[in-house]
């Protein structure tokens, strides 16, 4: 959103000299690229591996040139970002961006740190000094809109000056290169505070920064999930536990990095192995990154303590992604999984409320699939008699430890659905998690026939 025009501010001599030096470097890199491109033809003809290495070098040169470019198609003036996100740091200091200025076709962001102890910010080798108050440090830096930018801030609050790396993402829908395909006024989007509704599931596909929406997997009977698909193989799953898990808890008691788990509407973003996503999304949703291919197939090293999920994995042919389970061989009632436990191809990782974290680390766990009973609040479940304060403590500890280990937690709410038909439809969720949606749809139709 454009708000006004601002006059150009003079650059410091440090920035000017640094840019001149880098221009010379890039000219040299470009000339080297031209030389290498001439060598490509000969290398390709020779059939040697040199061709691939030369092409990688050319790609690196081109990326280096692109990364320096903060030009934009926006008209000169000041704009309020549609969304701002960041990652990095210790979590003690927050960063905000309320204004982007475009001057002579180039974008500059005003970054505000909620600490007065930052002396400078470094971007692409350039050092930018700012304005400090007792509680804030403000810097104007060049940025590439609608993509991740790496910045380094220097804080003097520690015993000695210390640089901290951050990744920031500034989204302006009007900017050149925006991937948003939704233009209707009813499209749910991040609010000014960076949050979606926390009281109900999205009726339309949410706008997630510059990710382009493609399609929705419709829920015909289930009331507690929604599935939306975005360009590049990304999938958003929303689930509704009915009430806020933190109800009755002290404000701000959640651990840094576990914010997505402490909301009534939990959002999970399923991301391909090498895909880049906007910085800061991990504060709004649980990021589940698909594993790379092993022996030609994707394979999680999952811990599963939810019986419906285990049944779903068996039906979907995904038991190769099961590394640990929340039940012993004696307790397990699924023959295929009991056999895997007996053959020690799957190990016991502790129950869902008493996890053996060392076993998860040893098993290289990269995804935890939990039952709804883990939630401290929500719709009543049979057999959950723990006092609310004890349930919250357990939930907080598990989400905190899992966050420290870098293991995303998915909470299966299928048992909370009111009808058997709705419960059966959760096979679509498991299909989205494991990347086998066509198989999941076939099983769903079969399940629907069985419950009629």
pLDDT one-digit tens code per residue, 310-321: 999 999 999 999
- Joined together, the tokens standing for residue 113 give 């740190």
Q: How many beta carbons lie within 10 A of that of residue 168, not counting itself?
A: 23
Average pLDDT over residues 316-345: 96
Residues 167 and 117 placed together within one structural domain of the fold? yes
- Flag whether pLDDT at 344 surpasses 70: yes
Residues 297 and 241 placed together within one structural domain of the fold? yes
- Flag whether pLDDT at 193 surpasses 90: no
The domain of 125 spans: 77-171
Task: Establish if 207 belongs to a structural domain.
Answer: no
Lowest mean pLDDT among 44-48, 107-111, 123-127, 398-402: 44-48
Task: Establish if 208 belongs to a structural domain.
Answer: no
- Joined together, the tokens standing for residue 450 give 């069985």
Residues 49 and 111 placed together within one structural domain of the fold? no
Confidence of residue 355 (pLDDT cuts 50, 70, 90): very high
Distance CA 313, CA 214 (A): 26
Residue with tokens 């304060």: 389
CATH of the domain at 147: 2.60.40.1850
pLDDT one-digit tens code per residue, 7-43: 334 444 444 444 544 545 555 555 555 555 555 545 4
Residues 132 and 258 placed together within one structural domain of the fold? no
DSSP state of 448: H
- Flag whether pLDDT at 432 surpasses 90: yes
Residues 367 and 437 placed together within one structural domain of the fold? yes
CATH of the domain at 386: 3.40.50.1980
What does the pLDDT read at residue 104?
94
SS3 of 352-365: the string is CCEECHHHHHHCCC
| Domain boundary, last residue among 47, 67, 87 | 67
Confidence of residue 358 (pLDDT cuts 50, 70, 90): very high
- Residue from 350, 289, 343, 295 nearest 324 by CA: 350
Average pLDDT over residues 355-373: 96
Residues 296 and 414 placed together within one structural domain of the fold? yes
pLDDT one-digit tens code per residue, 206-235: 989 889 999 999 999 999 999 999 999 999
Residues 417 and 335 placed together within one structural domain of the fold? yes
Residues 122 and 239 placed together within one structural domain of the fold? no
Average pLDDT over residues 232-260: 75
- Flag whether pLDDT at 416 surpasses 90: yes
What does the pLDDT read at residue 58?
59
Distance CA 5, CA 102 (A): 8
Confidence of residue 181 (pLDDT cuts 50, 70, 90): very low
Q: What residue spans of 47-139 are helical by DSSP H?
A: 50-67
Residues 49 and 83 placed together within one structural domain of the fold? no
What does the pLDDT read at residue 4?
41
Residue with tokens 């033809």: 41
Strand partners, 240: 265
Q: Are 288 and 268 in contact, with CB atoms under 8 Å apart?
A: yes
The rounded percent of the chain whose pLDDT value lies above 90 is 61
Residues 394 and 268 placed together within one structural domain of the fold? yes
| Domain boundary, last residue among 114, 142, 171 | 171
pLDDT one-digit tens code per residue, 76-121: 999 999 999 999 998 889 999 999 999 999 999 999 999 999 999 9
Distance CA 37, CA 55 (A): 8
- Joined together, the tokens standing for residue 133 give 């108050």
Task: Establish if 241 belongs to a structural domain.
Answer: yes
Q: Are 208 and 236 in contact, with CB atoms under 8 Å apart?
A: yes
What does the pLDDT read at residue 16?
47
Distance CA 179, CA 138 (A): 29
Distance CA 224, CA 226 (A): 7
Distances (CA, A) of 441 to 245, 419, 434: 31, 18, 13
- Flag whether pLDDT at 196 surpasses 80: no
| Domain boundary, last residue among 171, 196, 228 | 171
90 burial type by CB count under 10 A (0-12 exposed, 13-18 middle, 19+ buried):
exposed
Task: Establish if 6 belongs to a structural domain.
Answer: no
Residues 396 and 282 placed together within one structural domain of the fold? yes
Task: Establish if 3 belongs to a structural domain.
Answer: no
Task: Establish if 151 belongs to a structural domain.
Answer: yes
Count of structural domains, the chain: 3
Residues 311 and 438 placed together within one structural domain of the fold? yes
Task: Establish if 186 belongs to a structural domain.
Answer: no
- Residue from 408, 398, 306, 302 nearest 357 by CA: 398
Task: Establish if 344 belongs to a structural domain.
Answer: yes
């Amino acid at each position: 959103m454009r708000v006004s025009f601002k006059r150009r501010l003079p650059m410091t001599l440090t920035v000017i000299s640094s840019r001149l030096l880098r221009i010379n470097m890039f000219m040299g890199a470009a000339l080297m690229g031209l030389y290498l491109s001439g060598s490509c033809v000969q290398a390709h003809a020779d059939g040697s591996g040199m061709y691939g290495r030369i092409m990688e070098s050319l790609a690196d040169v081109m990326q280096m040139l692109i990364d320096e470019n903060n030009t934009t198609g926006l008209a000169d003036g000041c704009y309020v970002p549609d969304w701002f996100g960041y990652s990095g740091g210790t979590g003690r200091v927050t960063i905000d961006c309320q204004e982007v200025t475009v001057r002579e076709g180039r974008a500059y962001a005003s970054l505000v740190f909620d600490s007065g102890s930052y002396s400078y910010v470094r971007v692409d080798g350039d050092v930018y000094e700012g304005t400090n108050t007792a509680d804030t440090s403000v810097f104007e830096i060049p940025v590439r809109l609608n993509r991740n930018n790496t910045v380094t801030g220097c804080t003097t609050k520690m015993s000695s000056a210390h640089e901290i790396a951050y990744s920031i993402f500034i989204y302006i829908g009007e900017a050149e290169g925006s991937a948003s395909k939704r233009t209707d006024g009813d499209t749910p989007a991040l609010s000014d505070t960076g949050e979606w509704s926390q009281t109900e599931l999205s009726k339309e596909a949410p706008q997630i920064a510059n990710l382009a929406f493609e399609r929705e997997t419709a829920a015909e009977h289930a009331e507690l999930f929604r599935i939306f698909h975005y360009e590049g193989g990304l999938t958003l799953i929303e689930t509704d536990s009915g009430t806020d898990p933190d109800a009755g808890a002290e404000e701000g008691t959640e651990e840094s990095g576990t914010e997505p788990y402490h909301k009534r509407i939990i959002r999970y973003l399923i991301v391909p192995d090498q895909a880049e996503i906007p910085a800061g999304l991990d504060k709004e949703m649980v990021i589940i990154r698909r594993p790379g291919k092993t022996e030609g197939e994707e394979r999680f090293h999952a811990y599963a303590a939810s019986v419906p999920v285990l049944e779903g994995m068996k039906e979907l042919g995904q038991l190769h992604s099961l590394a640990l389970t929340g039940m012993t061989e004696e307790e397990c009632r699924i023959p295929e999984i009991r056999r895997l436990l007996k053959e020690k191809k799957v190990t016991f990782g502790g129950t869902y409320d008493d996890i053996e974290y060392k076993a998860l680390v040893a098993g290289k766990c990269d995804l935890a699939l939990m039952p709804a009973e883990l939630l401290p609040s929500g719709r009543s479940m049979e057999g959950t008699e723990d006092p609310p304060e004890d349930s919250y403590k357990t939930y907080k500890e598990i989400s905190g430890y899992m966050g420290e280990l870098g293991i995303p937690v998915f909470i299966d709410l299928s048992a909370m659905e009111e009808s058997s038909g709705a419960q059966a439809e959760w096979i679509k969720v498991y299909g989205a998690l494991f990347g086998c949606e066509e198989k999941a749809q076939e099983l769903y139709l079969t399940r629907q026939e069985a419950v009629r």
